[in-house]
Chains A and B, each alone.
Chain A
Amino acid sequence: MLDTASPAAAKVAAPPPEAGATSARAPLIRREALAFALFAFFAIAPAIAQVGAEGYLLSLVIRAMIFAIAALSLDLILGYGALVSFGHAAFVGIGCYAVGILMAHSVSDLFVQLLATLLASALFALVTGAISLRTKGVYFIMITLAFGQMIYFLTTSLAAYGGDDGLTLPSRSAVFGTDVLENDLVFYYLVLACLVGVYALLRAIVGSRFGRVLRGTRENPVRMQAIGYDPYRYQLVAYVIAGMIAGLSGFLLANHIEFVSPAFISWQRSGELIIMVVLGGMGTLVGPIVGAMSFLFLEEILARITQDWKLIFGPLLVLVALFARGGILGFFRRKA
């Protein structure tokens, strides 16, 4: 079972050890400071954006925050549970389509849509997680990919809801019957509040007893079992939580661009989520936020320099993989 020579045992490097040992307290505090600085930046960004082409910048930052939420959720299972999900975009898609389908039936209430999003993504996570977590390592990567592809093809076949072409939403969700979210600034701060809330929630989960068991399972599932924990149950709960949070990000994404499409669920999107987490630094919670921001901002900046920006972006990813162990956060920690 623990035959490391077989491909069954996925090579997933454990992120650097952190909190728990007293000597590792310092990085955690620095991380909190970084998170706080990022949130403060997001909070005043609209004021700065007023100077330039505000609508465009604001929209970019909203997108970065939404993907940061999705990447954060992936970090819970990938960074803290060593569960490499290659189908995480499915949950984002479920959130998108929960909004889109309800909208198409003229149910525009935010709370109803949010409830549907969370229930649907929790249910999907529970069913697919219960099956996927029976497999290990590389096989887990592949089975989550399979489930992601199933949702992808399911949405392409939803002819009543746009099929391949996707579905344009008539408006954003209504709050108590008002269209207050149509105001971009209000929506901006709603997304920011979700991001801060998700971060605080995940930080609490990771620091709790549950989080410690999850990390113990990452390090050595057999030992955890030996001291009386059932890794499967903890991993499944983490998988469901991560799925629901990713669903929330999908809910916000649909509201942001007022359009949903199967393209959000393709395997490349799942790959991008993994890349955001690894790029920023997995198992840190701040890393995924940094990763999502870097990914989207770099994309924008490079796209302004040349339309062939992928010629620069691709090799950059290769360089990060080769030389920056632990992602951007790990790179700077070594410098410090």
Chain B
Amino acid sequence: MYTTLILVQTLNGLQFGIILFLIAAGLTLVFGVMDFINLAHGVQYMIGAYFAFAFTSWTGSFGLGLLLALPAALVFGLLLEALVFRHLYDKDHLEQVLATFGIILFLNQGVKVVWGSSPLFVPVPEFLQGSIVLFEGFFYPTYRLAIIGAGLGVAALLYVLVNYTRAGMLVRAGATNAKMVSALGVDIRRLFMIVFGFGAMLAGFAGAMVAPILSVEPGMGDNLLILAFVVIVIGGIGSIRGAFLAALIIGLVDTLGRTFAGDVLRLFMDPGAASTVGRAVAPMLIYILMAAVLFFRPAGLFPVKR
């Protein structure tokens, strides 16, 4: 019984980590390549979920909805880039915080105006409903497995794109030294735009994928934004590989911590105190981890090679 619980929570942690990776991948590139603090990255995730909801109810099929939500999220990201972010790259961090915070306020309210403030639900597509028997007596929801699969697929695709294409090479070069890349004659503005749009689309993809298992509501991206920052700091700013590994670590630590912190502490203290302390410590774990990483290895666990 207990082993099953551990297995289920490990898979849940993995699935959470995958979602975090999809959000963090864009954020780490935007941060690493453009040195741009984009607090509005979380709303891209929210927008993706809303697009998935809108297109799913329009077409009646989640697959089609997802297919339409992706380009919509991309266009939305590019639009934001052209309207606002493009003019912020040269500003200092504080002005970026100010402007992107303003965008969070605007878009969180904007989705309320368009779709109302009550949570919306997207049905799980029929062919992914129910559970799969992984082995004797062990079930797991098919859709969550599909998220893990899709996320791993995207991670593999990103790996190929970043490591084996010309655009990927420029992104890697940009993360190491953006000024030098620009000096070598690369149109850095266009590179920024591509990175930005792609990052927005990935975050939107994450939002669309979780729409059937979470409620779609205004502000749903705000807390994930902070978690994505935790991921990219632990992984090393600008490193996709780091973001992937750190996202899995954070997903597992957070999920397993919340389930088992009390049980682990019970080995050292009496049960009542253990469950109280466990409840307090569990949500803090990833931030303690983040502070420790920043203190001992400020460049992150898997930094970009310079």
Contact = CB atoms under 8 A, between A and B. Distances in A.
Interface stretch (B107-115, B189-197, B207-215): B107-115
A7 B92 contact: no
Q: Which of A13, A157, A158, A274 has the most CB of B within 10 A?
A: A157
B31 interface: yes
A6 to B, nearest CB: 8
A316 B284 contact: no
A183 to B, nearest CB: 36
Task: Tell me what chain A mostly uses at the interface: helix, strand, loop, or mixed.
Answer: helix
Interface stretch (A207-215, A250-258, A307-315): A307-315
Interface in A128-184: 131, 134-136, 138-139, 141-143, 145-147, 149-150, 153-154, 156-159
A159 to B, nearest CB: 7
A186 B276 CA distance: 40
Interface string B217-233: 00000100010011001
Contact of B294 (A10, A135, A156, A313): A135
Nearest to A314: B106
Interface residues of B, number: 54
Contacts of B294: 135, 139, 142-143, 146
Given A275-B98, A308-B113, A320-B98, A139 B233 contact: yes
Contacts of A321: 88, 91, 95-96, 98-99, 102
A12 interface: yes
Contacts of A136: 298
B94 A12 contact: yes
B94 A310 contact: no
Contact of B283 (A131, A156, A159): A156
Contacts of B93: 10-12, 84, 138, 141
- Interface centre among A278, A315, A321, by most B CB within 10 Å? A321
B178 A5 contact: yes
Contacts of B109: 308, 310-311, 314
B164 to A, nearest CB: 25
Contacts of B298: 8, 135-136, 139
B291 interface: yes
Interface in B35-66: 35, 37, 39
Nearest to A274: B97
Contacts of A282: 94
B179 A271 contact: no
Contact of A311 (B95, B110, B180): B110
Given A154-B284, A157-B283, A318 B103 contact: yes
Contacts of B88: 321-322
Nearest to B95: A321
B290 interface: yes
Interface in B278-296: 279-280, 283-284, 287-288, 290-291, 294-295
A274 B100 CA distance: 13
A112 interface: no
B295 A315 contact: no
A322 B92 contact: no
Contacts of B180: 5
B84 interface: yes
Contacts, number: 151
Contacts of B229: 142, 145
Given A139-B233, A156-B283, A278 B106 contact: no
Nearest to A9: B35
A136 B31 CA distance: 16
Interface residues of A, number: 52
By CB atoms of chain B within 10 A, which of A5, A142, A154 has the most? A142
B291 A143 contact: yes
B95 A153 contact: no
A135 B258 CA distance: 29
Contact of B102 (A5, A12, A13, A314): A314
Given A138-B237, A308-B113, A310-B108, A5 B177 contact: yes
B87 A271 contact: no
A11 B102 CA distance: 20
Contact of B290 (A143, A271, A311, A315): A143
A50 interface: no
B43 to A, nearest CB: 11
A315 B106 contact: yes
Contacts of A146: 230, 287-288, 290-291, 294
Nearest to A3: B306
30 contacts: A5-B180, A7-B237, A7-B238, A12-B92, A78-B94, A131-B295, A134-B295, A139-B294, A141-B37, A142-B294, A146-B230, A146-B287, A146-B290, A147-B287, A149-B287, A150-B287, A153-B283, A157-B280, A159-B279, A271-B39, A275-B101, A282-B94, A308-B109, A308-B112, A310-B105, A318-B84, A318-B102, A321-B88, A322-B95, A325-B95
Given A5-B180, A322-B84, A322-B95, 15 more contacts: A7-B32, A10-B93, A135-B298, A139-B294, A139-B298, A141-B37, A142-B229, A153-B287, A157-B279, A157-B280, A275-B97, A314-B103, A314-B106, A315-B106, A318-B106
Interface of B: 31-32, 35, 37, 39, 84, 87-88, 91-99, 101-110, 112-113, 177-180, 222, 226, 229-230, 233, 237-238, 276, 279-280, 283-284, 287-288, 290-291, 294-295, 298-299, 306
Give me the 5 closest cross-chain CB pairs, A-B, nearest first: A317-B102, A314-B106, A321-B99, A314-B105, A310-B109
